């Protein structure tokens, strides 16, 4: 390598007191003395992990510090983002504290990135020579394999070249994150909105690093403490997958259409119940039944597709969505009549065309007016505060 690498090693911790001494010994032995290395533990612990880190740091030749978070916002992924904001080296390396990620590979990750000119280097259990033997039992192996397969199927282009998108051990160039932030108008954290513990997936999808390399490794057994992998974390991961996938406008449009089609079910059921059990005119019954379909569509879109873009009170979003949804008929019938009477198109194709046009217009209005524009504006408003906080933190360290 032409120059001495500068590395920020970020280690998120939650009640890992029993692993700290062994981990720091391994890190200090692995990293060359001439490298410029800072180690930051981002700690969400409820035990004495911060005190153990401070005692162990005394014997380390490199800079070791602790950022303790009273509120563990965003889980492990949020801890990594907080660590990125608090550090400054061109290379960011992330690893767990439980020693399932071997510290001896730390220099190899950075060197592989330097050699290949890659912005992301993943320590992979699935690359040739890698192993996931440290996973506890067949159940966790199966969950890991299925999760990896589903994730790669959802993001085939963005995860090309990444055999282990669920890895928690990787190196990424800071430039990739900051470039994503500049393009998104979201500041130096790249607009990252992590949810749970799969931060690599978030970085690969949102930052789109230029060039990916992999280093195979054997996933080891936990040295001490208990696994943080729970059913709750699994559900958060699925929610995160949905949010990442819906960050693409084309994917949101597909989801919007599928949810809209599903809304016909409660609509028809309500219409059947109203016309069968009451003396309401069918037109009035259809208007009322349509409102149930609107509520169904809003609930699914608000919870699944636009979860991370929600701004303001849900009632305001619901009123806006209902107004646009009920305006469909008013817009579609005149358009259909225009196509039939002026363009000479038959009633059936005219109906299809009007449905498609109204659907596209409604999607764009909901996506822009009710959700995405507000979400983007909020991120831009928050970006200066995040950037200022990061500069302040770096200035304090320099002082």
Q: Which of 187, 206, 101 is nearest to 379 (CA)?
A: 187
Q: What is the pLDDT, as a whole number, of residue 395?
A: 43
Is residue 393 packed enough to be buried (19+ CB in 10 Å), middle (13-18) or exposed (0-12)?
middle
CA separation for the pair 273, 271 (Å, rounded): 5
* Coil/strand/helix, residue 97: coil
End-to-end distance of the chain based on CA atoms, in angstroms? 30
Find the angle CA(324)-CA(363)-CA(202) to the nearest 5 degrees: 130
Q: What is the pLDDT, as a whole number, of residue 90?
A: 96
Task: State pLDDT tens for residues 52-109.
Answer: 999 999 989 999 999 999 888 877 888 999 999 999 999 999 999 988 899 999 999 9
CA separation for the pair 295, 305 (Å, rounded): 15
Domain boundaries, given as residue ranges, for the chain: 6-245, 249-382
> What is the third-level CATH fold of 6-245?
Spore Coat Polysaccharide Biosynthesis Protein SpsA; Chain A (3.90.550)
Q: Which of 218, 124, 116 is nearest to 170 (CA)?
A: 124
- Which range, 63-67, 226-230, 280-284, has the best average confidence (pLDDT)? 63-67
> Running DSSP on this structure, what letter comes out for residue 258?
H
Per-chain mean pLDDT for the chain: 79
CB 136 within 8 A of CB 61: no
> Residue 332: pLDDT above 50?
yes
CA separation for the pair 363, 175 (Å, rounded): 34
CA separation for the pair 169, 163 (Å, rounded): 13
Is residue 279 packed enough to be buried (19+ CB in 10 Å), middle (13-18) or exposed (0-12)?
exposed
* Coil/strand/helix, residue 342: coil
Q: Which of 190, 158, 192, 159 is nearest to 175 (CA)?
A: 190
pLDDT > 90: what percent of the chain?
A: 30
Q: Which of 98, 107, 124 is nearest to 1 (CA)?
A: 107
CA separation for the pair 80, 85 (Å, rounded): 9
Q: What is the pLDDT, as a whole number, of residue 10?
A: 97
Q: At 124, is the pLDDT very low, low, confident or very high (cuts 50, 70, 90)?
A: very high
Give me 279's structure tokens.
């003396």
- Which range, 198-212, 274-288, 373-387, has the best average confidence (pLDDT)? 198-212
Task: State pLDDT tens for residues 350-399.
Answer: 767 877 888 888 888 887 888 864 444 444 444 443 434 344 434 443 33
Task: State pLDDT tens for residues 13-49.
Answer: 999 999 999 999 999 999 999 999 999 999 999 999 9
| Bigger pLDDT: 144 vs 55 | 55
CA separation for the pair 169, 217 (Å, rounded): 10
Is the model's pTM score more than 0.85? no
Give me 342's structure tokens.
């002026």
β-bridge mates for residue 124, sequence order: 216
- Which range, 57-61, 187-191, 200-204, has the best average confidence (pLDDT)? 57-61
| Bigger pLDDT: 162 vs 310 | 162
Computed from CA positions of residues 270, 271, 272, 276, in that sequence, does the dihedral angle turn out positive or negative?
Answer: positive
Q: What is the pLDDT, as a whole number, of residue 276?
A: 80
The DSSP H or E segment spanning 359 is helix 347-365
Q: What is the mean pLDDT of residues 122-128?
A: 91
Q: Which of 34, 345, 13 is nearest to 24 (CA)?
A: 13
Residue with tokens 């563990």: 72
CA separation for the pair 139, 124 (Å, rounded): 20
Q: What is the pLDDT, as a whole number, of residue 391?
A: 41
Task: State pLDDT tens for residues 146-181.
Answer: 777 777 777 878 888 889 888 889 999 999 999 887
Q: What is the pLDDT, as a whole number, of residue 6?
A: 95
């Amino acid at each position: 390598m032409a120059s001495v690498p500068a590395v920020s090693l970020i280690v998120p911790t939650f009640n890992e007191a029993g692993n700290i001494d062994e981990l720091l010994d391994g890190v200090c032995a692995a990293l060359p003395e001439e490298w410029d290395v800072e180690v930051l533990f981002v700690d969400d612990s409820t035990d004495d992990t911060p005190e153990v880190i401070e005692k162990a740091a005394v014997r380390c030749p490199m800079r070791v510090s602790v950022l303790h978070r009273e509120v563990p916002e965003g889980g492990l992924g949020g801890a990594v983002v907080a660590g990125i904001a608090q550090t400054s080296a061109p290379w960011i390396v992330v690893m767990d504290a439980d020693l399932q990620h071997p510290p001896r590979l730390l220099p190899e990750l950075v060197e592989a990135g330097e050699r290949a000119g890659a912005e992301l280097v993943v320590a992979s259990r699935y690359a040739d020579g890698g192993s996931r033997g440290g996973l506890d039992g067949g159940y966790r192996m199966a969950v890991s394999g299925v999760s990896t397969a589903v994730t790669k199927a959802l993001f085939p282009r963005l995860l090309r070249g990444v055999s282990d998108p669920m890895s928690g051990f990787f190196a990424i160039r800071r430039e990739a994150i900051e470039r994503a932030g500049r393009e998104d108008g979201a500041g130096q954290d790249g607009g990252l909105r992590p949810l749970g513990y799969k931060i690599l997936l978030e970085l690969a999808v949102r930052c789109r690093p230029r060039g990916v390399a992999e280093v195979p490794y054997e996933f080891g057994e936990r040295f001490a403490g208990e696994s943080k992998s729970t059913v709750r974390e699994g559900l958060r991961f699925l929610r995160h997958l949905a949010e990442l996938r819906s960050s693409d406008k084309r994917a949101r449009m597909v989801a919007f259409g599928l949810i809209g089609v599903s809304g016909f079910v409660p609509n028809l059921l309500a219409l059947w119940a109203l016309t069968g059990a009451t003396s309401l005119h069918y037109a009035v019954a259809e208007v009322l039944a349509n409102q149930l379909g609107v509520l169904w569509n809003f609930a699914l879109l608000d919870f699944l597709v636009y979860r991370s873009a929600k701004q303001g009170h849900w009632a305001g979003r619901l009123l806006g969505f209902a107004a646009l949804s009920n305006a469909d008929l008013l817009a579609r019938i005149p358009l259909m009549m225009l196509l039939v009477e002026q363009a000479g198109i038959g009633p059936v194709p005219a109906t299809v065309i009007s449905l498609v046009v109204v659907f596209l217009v409604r999607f764009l209005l909901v996506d822009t007016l009710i959700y995405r524009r507000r979400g983007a504006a909020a991120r831009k408003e928050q970006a200066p505060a995040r950037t200022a906080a990061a500069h302040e933190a770096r200035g304090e360290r320099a002082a």
